[in-house]
Structure 1
Amino acid sequence: MKKISFPLVLLFLLLGCKTNKKVVLQQLIESDFTIAFGSCNKSNVNNLLWDDVLATDPDVWIWGGDIIYADTDDMQKLRAMYLDQDRVEEYALLKSKVPVIGTWDDHDYGLNDGGVEFKEKKASQQEFLDFMDVPKDSPRRSREGVYASHDYTTSEGSIKVLVLDTRFFRTALTPDRETSKRNKPNSYGEGTVLGTAQWAWLQEGLNSSRADFNIIVSSIQFLSNEHGFECWGNFPHEIDHLKNLIVSSRAKGVVVLSGDRHISEFSKTKVDGLSYPLIDFTSSGLTHVYASFSGEPNPFRVGEVVSKKSFGLLDFDFSKKKVLFKMIGDDGELLGELEQNY
C-alpha cells in the first residue's frame, strides 16, 4: 500500500503552536518509499531544516558527509562535536523516529581534503561509528573504512543502499599548478578512490542485488568533473570502473547521491550498456552554502544549481519504476525537481 506523504502539514499538526515558521502547503504525494539525505552541517549554527525533513515522512535519513566540521586529529574534540549534534533538539526528534545511516567526508573524517594519509583515521572511524550507533560487536568495528550496505523491503518493492567511504583509502590528489583550479585529474590508472577491498565489496553488493533500486552514496560528486575541487573526476579510471561495474552487474535502478560542494544540483548521463540514464543527485548543504555561487562548468547538469540551504528527497514508485528527485529548502520550499523512469 502506498503511503501518502503530507509535506510540512503533518509536522505542523504535530507541533501545533510550538513554531512560528510559515507553513508552505505542498501537493500530496504518493510514495512507496522515501529517502531524505543531506550533507555539510554544523551543530553550532542554526539547524533549521530538521522539522522540514520530518515533515516529508522519510523512511530513512542518509548523511552524505561533513556531519560536523571538526578538522582535527583530537578525538576528544571530534567526539564532543558529534555529541553536540546529537543534542540538537529537532535532529534528536528525527533520530527517534527515522532510521539514520550514512558516510563521512573530509571535515568529519578529520583532515580537510584528506585521504589515506590521515594518521588518526582508525580512531576517527570508531567515533563515527559511535555517532551512527553501530553496535560494539558489529563487524564494521574491525573492518577498515565506514562503507556499509543497507536493505529495505516493503510489500511494493525493495531498495539497497550502498554507502561508500571515499576517504579511508583514497590516494593523493594532484594539485593544478597551471590554472586557477585546485586540483587536476591524476594520470589515467594512477590512484584509487575506494581501495581494493571496498571495490570488491561493492562489486559483490551490486552483482548480488535483487533490489528494484540500488542507491550508491558517495560523499563527493561522481559526474560533475570540471570544477577542480574534490570529485571522482580526479581519478577518471575510477569513474570508468564504477560505470562498468554498474553495467556488468545488471543492477536495477542505480542512482548516485553525493554532497560536499555547498551547492545542490542534478547531473545525468547516458552510459553505454545501461538501459536508463545514470543520475548523480548532489545535495549540499544543510546549514551553510556557497551563497555567492556564480557558475561553474558541469557538462552533465540538468536544471539549475541551487545555492540555498536544502536537503534532498527521493520518492519511489515501484509499480511505475519511477523516482521523483527533489531539493527541499526551509519551510518546505521546493527548489528543484527531476523525475526519472527506470
Structure 2
Amino acid sequence: MKKTLSYLIAVLILSCSAPKHGVVDSAHEVDFTLAFGSCNKTELPNLLWDDIVDSKPNVWIWGGDNIYADTDDMSLLRAMYDAQQAVPGYSKLVNVTEVLGTWDDHDYGLNDGGLEYTSKDKSQQEFWNFMRVPMQSPLRTQKGVFRTKDFNMDQGSIKIIILDTRYFRTPLTPDHETKKRIKPNEYGIGTILGEGQWVWLENELLHSKADFNIIVSSIQFLSREHGFETWGNFPHEVDRLEQTIVKSKAKGVVLLSGDRHISEFSRKSLDGMEYPLIDFTSSGLTHTYRGFTGEPNPYRVGKVIFTESFGLLNFNFKAKKIDFQIVGDGGVVLEKMEQVF
C-alpha cells in the first residue's frame, strides 16, 4: 500500500482563470519554491518576469537558451547578456532571489553545438559573468558549467544538481532517412556528459542526504522520439542515468529540462524505485512552438502547453510532496500535477 500511495498523481487540472497571485495554493503548506524556465530572447517581449517575482521563488533556475547569440564573438555575447540583465522584471528578480542555471546551444554559442565549439572556454566565462559568479570561484577554472547547490532548512533539504549537456557532448547523427533532424547514435557511441562529469554526478547522487534531488538538464530526458536534441540520441547515456538514479537510492529525484519551445510533464516508472521519475520541461519564456500539432511521447502526462510559460515547483517536506505548475502570463496556471515521493 505504501508503494501504491507513493505513485499517486493528482488529476491534471487545466485552469485558465487563476488569479495573478494564485500560482501558490495557499491551502497547502509550501516550504520552498523553485521557479525555472528556458528559451528567452531579449529582443522579444519579456512578459513573465513580474509573474515569476510574484511567485516568490527561493531560487530561479535558467534551463538554457537564456539568450540567443549563436556566435563566437564574445563582445556580442556579452552585450546580449547585458541586455538581459537590464530587463526591468529580470533585474528585480535577481535582486530578491538566488539565480542558478545552465546553458544550451544558443547561449553556448553554436546551434546544436557540443565539444567541437572552439570558443566554449571564453563563452563559459561570459556565462559565469551573467550568473554573477565571483572571479575567485573554483567554477571559473572548471571545464563545463555543471555544479551543485544545497538548500538546507529546518523543514528539510534540497540539492540542485546542474548538468552541462554541451561542453563534452560528442557529435549527433543526422537522420537522412526520415523527416526528423536527428536519429539516435549506435548504442555505446558518444557521450553527453563526458566521463569526468559522469563520475561527479554519480558521486553527488550516491552521497546525497537531501530530501529532494533536482537535476537540471538543458535537453529533455524522457521524451525521445521527436527527432530533435534529447538524451535519447545517446541511448546508453539514458540507461546509465536511470541506473545511476536507482542505485544511488537518492530521495525525490526530479529532472528539469528546456530547449523544446513547449512545456510538458513526462513520467516513467523505473524498476527498483518507489516513486516515478518525472521530467518537467518548461520552454519557452518569450517564444514557443505555436504551430505545434503533436508528437509522440509515451511518458507524457496531460497536455502539451505551447504558449509562453515558466515552471514552478512548490515543496512540502512533511508531506514529501511537490506541486508542479506550468504558469503563463498573468499568473495563470495552465496545467499542474502533484507527486508524493
TM-score of the alignment, normalized to the shorter chain, above 0.5:
yes
* 1:94-173 matched pairs, under 5 angstroms: 94-173=93-172
Corresponding residue for 1:248? Answer: 247
Paired with 1:67 and 1:210, the residues of 2 have a C-alpha distance of: 31
Deviation of the 1:23 alpha carbon: 5.6
Corresponding residue for 1:193? Answer: 192
Paired with 1:24 and 1:322, the residues of 2 have a C-alpha distance of: 24
Q: Which amino acid is the alignment partner of residue 220 of structure 2?
A: Q
Corresponding residue for 1:329? Answer: 328
Q: Which amino acid is the alignment partner of residue 269 of structure 2?
A: K
TM-score (norm 2): 0.93
Paired with 1:173 and 1:77, the residues of 2 have a C-alpha distance of: 27
Residue by residue, what CA displacement relative to the aligned partner does 1:163-190 show, whole Å, maximum 9, x if unpaired? 0000000000000111000000000000
Paired with 1:325 and 1:24, the residues of 2 have a C-alpha distance of: 17
Structure 1, unmatched stretches of 5+, are: 1-21
Q: Does structure 1 retain, via aligned residues, the 8 Å contact 2:20–2:51? A: no
Q: Which amino acid is the alignment partner of residue 20 of structure 2?
A: V
Residue by residue, what CA displacement relative to the aligned partner does 1:248-293 show, whole Å, maximum 9, x if unpaired? 1110000000000000000000011111100000000000000111
Alpha-carbon distance change, 97 to 174 in structure 1, aligned in 2, over 3 angstroms: same
Deviation of the 1:137 alpha carbon: 1.1
Corresponding residue for 2:86? Answer: 87
* 1:233-312 matched pairs, under 5 angstroms: 233-312=232-311
Residue by residue, what CA displacement relative to the aligned partner does 1:297-332 show, whole Å, maximum 9, x if unpaired? 001000000001000000001011011100000000
* 1:59-98 matched pairs, under 5 angstroms: 59-98=58-97
Corresponding residue for 2:20? Answer: 24
The answer to whether 1:183 aligns with 2:179 is no
Paired with 2:272 and 2:186, the residues of 1 have a C-alpha distance of: 26
Residue by residue, what CA displacement relative to the aligned partner does 1:133-185 show, whole Å, maximum 9, x if unpaired? 11111111111000000000111000000000000000000001110000000
Residue by residue, what CA displacement relative to the aligned partner does 1:10-31 show, whole Å, maximum 9, x if unpaired? xxxxxxxxxxxx9635242521
Deviation of the 1:207 alpha carbon: 0.9
Paired with 2:102 and 2:79, the residues of 1 have a C-alpha distance of: 18
Corresponding residue for 2:43? Answer: 44
Secondary structure of the residue aligned to 2:90 is helix
Q: Which amino acid is the alignment partner of residue 320 of structure 2?
A: K
Paired with 1:256 and 1:228, the residues of 2 have a C-alpha distance of: 20
Paired with 2:19 and 2:161, the residues of 1 have a C-alpha distance of: 35
Runs of 4+ in 1 over 3 A off after TM superposition: 22-25
Secondary structure of the residue aligned to 2:139 is helix
Paired with 1:166 and 1:24, the residues of 2 have a C-alpha distance of: 34
Paired with 1:187 and 1:228, the residues of 2 have a C-alpha distance of: 15
Secondary structure of the residue aligned to 1:96 is helix
Q: Which amino acid is the alignment partner of residue 64 of structure 1?
A: G
Corresponding residue for 2:6? Answer: none
Paired with 1:220 and 1:63, the residues of 2 have a C-alpha distance of: 12
Q: Does structure 1 retain, via aligned residues, the 8 Å contact 2:21–2:55? A: no
Deviation of the 1:73 alpha carbon: 0.4
Secondary structure of the residue aligned to 1:30 is coil
Deviation of the 1:45 alpha carbon: 1.4
Structure 2, unmatched stretches of 5+, are: 1-17
Corresponding residue for 1:13? Answer: none
Secondary structure of the residue aligned to 1:125 is helix
Percent identity, please.
61
Task: Report the count of equivalent residues.
Answer: 321
Secondary structure of the residue aligned to 1:220 is coil
Secondary structure of the residue aligned to 2:29 is strand
TM-score (norm 1): 0.93
Paired with 2:228 and 2:120, the residues of 1 have a C-alpha distance of: 22
Q: Which amino acid is the alignment partner of residue 100 of structure 1?
A: V
Q: Which amino acid is the alignment partner of residue 334 of structure 1?
A: V
Deviation of the 1:195 alpha carbon: 0.2
Q: Does structure 1 retain, via aligned residues, the 8 Å contact 2:283–2:309? A: yes
Q: Does structure 1 retain, via aligned residues, the 8 Å contact 2:39–2:65? A: yes
